[in-house]
Structure 1
Amino acid sequence: MQKLNLNQILSQKLSPQQIQFIKLLQVPTAELEARIEEELEINPALEEGKEDNETETDNATDEFQDNPDTMETKEDKDINIEDYLNDEYGGYKMQGDGNYSPDEEEKEMPLSSTTSLHEQLLSQLNFLKLDERQRTIGRQLIGSIENDGYIRRDLEAIINDLAFSQNVETDLDEVEEILLKIQGFDPPGIAARNLQECLVIQLERKEHHDDPMVQKAIYVIQNCFEEFTKKHYDKILKKCNLDEESLKEVIHMITRLNPKPGGISDGIMRTQYVIPDFILNNVNGKFEIVLNSKNAPELRVSRSYSEMFSAYDKSDKKDKKLKETVTFVKQKLDAAKWFIDAIKQRQQTLMKTMQAILDYQQEFFLDGDETKLKPMILKDIAEKIDMDISTVSRVANSKTIQTEFGVFPLKYFFSEGISTDAGEDVSNREVKSVLSRMVEDEDKRKPLSDDKLVKLLNQKGYNIARRTVAKYREQLQIPVARLRKEL
């Protein structure tokens, strides 16, 4: 039996303006311009230029809002918040020296045009004297090459693909024969099935591949690959009957080979530059934060749309089509105002957050010494600026600042604290910096184990456990002691 019940539920919903703000806050400077261009295209009520100091539009839209005859606009309906919050603006993995000047503001990011790796390989395939059947097998093999240059797919699976998708019956011997030809293409090492095979191919492709030392390197890779990867040099010396000097030369030769012959992952070279969101100037000992001008665009509500709305609003609204027109114009005007307000709120939040970080880490910004960074977590800044932790997180995860010591992501300044014998808390970045110097200065013939590193850090006054040292070492991408060993 069906029943109709009336329930009261208290729930929180984000307003359209809050949603606009959340989305815009996490957009890095490099993408903000494109986001604004997109909004300008879809909303004719939004224009570039300085804002007019008039309130006529505001008053008119407020009157229309209060009119009971008005139709419900799109923005007034329930909004699917998930659709907004799931719209991520990522991909802020850029490279370059971080240099930036106002003269470069209007320049587009350079995009160098080049052929993809697969196109290069297919071009080389055309130079081989193959029949159409063999070319089909070759194209299938090239299509199976991954971005780093390896074929990791089992050849039996490739044979099955040829049978089902290309209607080509073949066997393992024929596929391996064509694969061997492709492995002779440039770049050297391409189409290898594993690292061991990749290194051997590169050594065999050397100009003086018959040189005794090259042959020794090939022998070491073919017969002592596991020992080589684990740096068990004593075992290699015995097994390959080499002296220490020869092994040093062999290791030097092997380590200069390319373990990822595929190179560029997607075959398109993108030359991108970090565009800092903030620029920090030290003027006679006084810090001055400047927000990148790309973060402060001049936007305004279209005067023609405002006048159009005023004219429609004063007319007879009993006509259905006219009522729909008024609703549409108001919707566009509201959306334009909301977008402008969100941009302004974004600027204010960025400046407040950056100023709080500067105040907290002032000692670091004086000379750029990493050891002077204080322990600081998101909560510290959130409390300082009276905002939610999630808001600070959105700012810290996608923004950068240019200083006289280089360009830093804001998340660089956040770190947990480690206690010292003196009862003080120091940033874990300081501990990582000390740990890194210890590894750099160690005797590579007898590298420091994690236990030894713990003892040395404890002697310096840092109360730290072995598992923490191991975690920091991994974060610094420092291999274990055995793999740091050198002859």
Structure 2
Amino acid sequence: MLKQNLQFKLSQKLSPQQIQLMKLIQLPTQAFEQRLKEELVENPALEGSTDQEELYEKEEFDSQDDYDEYDGNESIEADDINIDEYLSDDEIPDYKLAANNYSDDDDDRESPLAAAVSFHQDLLNQLQTFILNDTEMEVAEFVVGSIDDDGYLRRSIQDMVDDMAFTQGIYTDEKTVERILKSIIHELEPSGVGARDLQECLLLQLKHKTPTESIALATRIIDEQFDAFTKKHYEKLLTKYSISQDQLKKVISEIEKLNPKPGGSFSGSRVTENIVPDFMIRVVDGELELTLNGRNAPTLHVSRDYQEMLQTYKDSRDKSAAQKDAVQFIKQKLDSAKWFIDAIKQRQETLFVTMNAIMHFQYDYFLEGDELKIKPMILKDIADMVGLDISTVSRVANSKYVETPYGTKLIKEFFSEAMKNDQGEDVSTLEIKKILKTVIEDEDKSKPLPDDQLAEILKEKGYPIARRTIAKYREQLDIPVARMRKKI
């Protein structure tokens, strides 16, 4: 039996403008600039300016309530559009009368980058220096193409032989591929390229070094006792080769100079990372001063041309259907431009108030730069201070950097859990990690401290921490176990 009934239900729905704002907030400066360029291309009603002016004036536009209800899917009647809302009687728009104090340092300067040859292209270029027939060259080029970015050949000879036959129509055998690999590929630079594993990689690099007593001994140890060497069973090596500790130290020194990832050493394969800080904190007369990177405050305004189009429509007596369609399009573009400018303004305010709260929460650290003064801080602490949602604070902290007198820092690194010391005081886990790192750096490397002894030392310093917690912090600091830290 079918029946109808009414049901009331509360639900939350994010408007397109709110979604747009959240996406803008989580973008760091460089990604934000790219998003800005895309919007300028997509929306002709939105314009930028090269002048260092504050082009956003909230009073120019309708209030938030005026356009929150519009979801982009409603049908707009041209006769219902209030043209006067989009027009201004001023010959000079308000945005040109506003100024700011941005420094010339905030200008967007693009640094030219040299066009570099890729790692694999460099290897292919080196093949041209060898005298090879057509088949050998094709096999050599295929092998080079199978080398990964670290410089290793992680495919078996049989797989490459089959792949060449099925995909390239190159018919060869394992013996030929092995010969080309050893006589050609392993002679390419950087040394060690084309190795099948770490042991072979180190042996290839030792082979290309000037022969000395230490190099010869290092070659024997890597070839014959690679497992014992990697596990740092130094006593076994001293006994087997009847050498002194000084001789073994020289061998270790030579091996440590080798590159375990030869492909990574190629300059052309490096990706240049340019971190642009989103905030700047300065110490001025003993007080902290926070500024938002000027590149986060773009110079945007609504197109005067589009406003003139609306004025023309308003003044015309005969409004054709085509003109009505055009004015609907213009209104949509103007609305989109206003929403975007308002979202940018809200983004600036959200970024600033959130970072300002973080700065005051960690005031002692930013004032002196002592990492031991970083307080325990979680997202909820900052969210409660600024009255924002935890997810919004997370978006601000994620992938954002702040420039301080002590270096450029990733904001999310200032967040940490709290632990209690022996006096019952809350201390940051960052402080404990700093102390743990210092203890490990000062240990006797011939007898490195295991985790249980590290736990005892930190307990003596007033931090009662379990051994498993020490192990977790050590792994987070990328510090190996005691056996792997051993040196002679």
TM class by shorter chain equals 0.7 to 0.9
| CA–CA separation in structure 2 for the residues paired with 1:454 and 1:243 | 34
- The alpha-carbon distance between structure 1 residues 387 and 128, as it changes in their structure 2 partners (threshold 3 A), is same
Contact 2:77–2:328 (CA<8 Å) still a contact in 1? Answer: no
- Checking the alignment, whether the CA contact within 8 Å between 1:289 and 1:355 is kept in structure 2 is yes
| Superposition TM-score, scaled by structure 2 size | 0.87
- CA RMSD after TM alignment: 2.9
191, 196, 215: which one pairs with 1:193?
A: 196
Deviations 1:195-253 (A, max 9, x none): 100000000011x23x2221110010011111111111111222333222111110110
Task: Give the match for residue 274 of structure 1.
Answer: 275
Check whether the contact 1:20–1:338 (CA below 8 A) recurs between aligned residues: no
2:462 match: secondary structure: coil
Structure 1 letter corresponding to 2:223:
Q
Going from structure 1 to structure 2, the CA distance change for 1:196 and 1:318 (only over 3 Å counts) comes to: same
Q: What CA distance in whole angstroms lies between the structure 1 residues aligned with 2:80 and 2:131?
A: 70
1:229, 1:420 → 2: CA distance? 38
Aligned equivalents of 1:358, 1:62: Cα separation in 2 = 35
Q: 1:163-221 CA deviation, whole Å, 9 max, x = no partner?
A: 10111222211111111111110001111111100000000011x23x22211100100
Instruction: Say whether 1:203 aligns with 2:206.
Output: yes
One-letter code aligned to 1:45: A
Q: 1:9 to 1:313 in 2, by over 3 A?
A: farther
Secondary structure of the equivalent of 1:407? strand
Asked if the contact 1:149–1:190 (Cα under 8 Å) also holds between the matched residues in 2, the reply is yes
Q: Which amino acid in 2 is paired with 1:242?
A: I
Check the 8 A contact 2:56/2:300 in 1, yes or no: no
Is the alpha carbon distance of 1:316 and 1:422 closer, same or farther for their aligned partners in structure 2, counting shifts above 3 Å?
farther
Deviates more, 1:29-38 or 1:296-305: 29-38
Letter in 1 for 2:413: Y
Closer/same/farther in 2, CA of residues 129 and 379 from structure 1, 3 Å limit: same
Distance in 1, Cα, partners of 2:439 & 2:60: 68
Q: Secondary structure at the match of 1:290?
A: strand
Distance 1:453 1:313, change over 3 A: farther
Q: Which residue of 1 aligns with 2:22?
A: 22
Q: Give 3-state SS (helix, strand or coil) of 2:262's partner.
A: coil
Change (3 A) 1:189 1:7: farther
Equivalent residue pairs, number: 457
Q: Which residue is equivalent to 2:396?
A: 395
- Residues in 2 aligned to 1:429 and 1:356: alpha-carbon distance in whole angstroms: 19
| Counterpart Cα distance in 2 of 1:387 and 1:233 | 57
Q: Name the CA shift for 1:142/1:3 in 2 (closer, same or farther; >3 Å).
A: farther
Tell me the equivalent position of 1:154: 156
1:107 corresponds to which letter in structure 2?
R
- Distance in 2, matches of 1:349 and 1:481, equals 46
Give matches, 1:105-120, under 5 Å. 105-120=107-122
Q: Which stretch shows the higher mean deviation, 357-366 or 301-310?
A: 301-310
Q: Structure 1 stretch 396-405 or stretch 441-450: which is displaced more?
A: 396-405
Helix, strand or coil: the match of 1:337?
helix
Residues 264 and 217 (structure 1), Cα distance of their counterparts in 2 relative to 1, 3 Å cut: closer
Q: CA 1:10–1:104 in structure 2 vs 1: closer, same or farther (change >3 Å)?
A: closer
Matching residue of 1:306: 307
Please tell me whether the aligned partners of residues 112 and 271 of structure 1 are also in contact (alpha carbons under 8 angstroms). Answer: no
Kept in 1, the 8 Å contact 2:151–2:194? The answer is yes
CA distance in 2, matches of 1:314, 1:8: 48
1:7-18 to structure 2, matched below 5 A, reads 10-18=10-18
SS of equivalent residue, structure 2 residue 205: helix
CA contact (8 A) 1:113 1:269 kept: no
Q: Normalising to structure 1: TM-score of the pair?
A: 0.87
Partner amino acid, structure 2, of 1:274: I
Distance 1:380 1:255 in 2: 45
Deviation at residue 12 of structure 1 after TM alignment: 2.6
| 1:144 alignment partner in structure 2 | 146
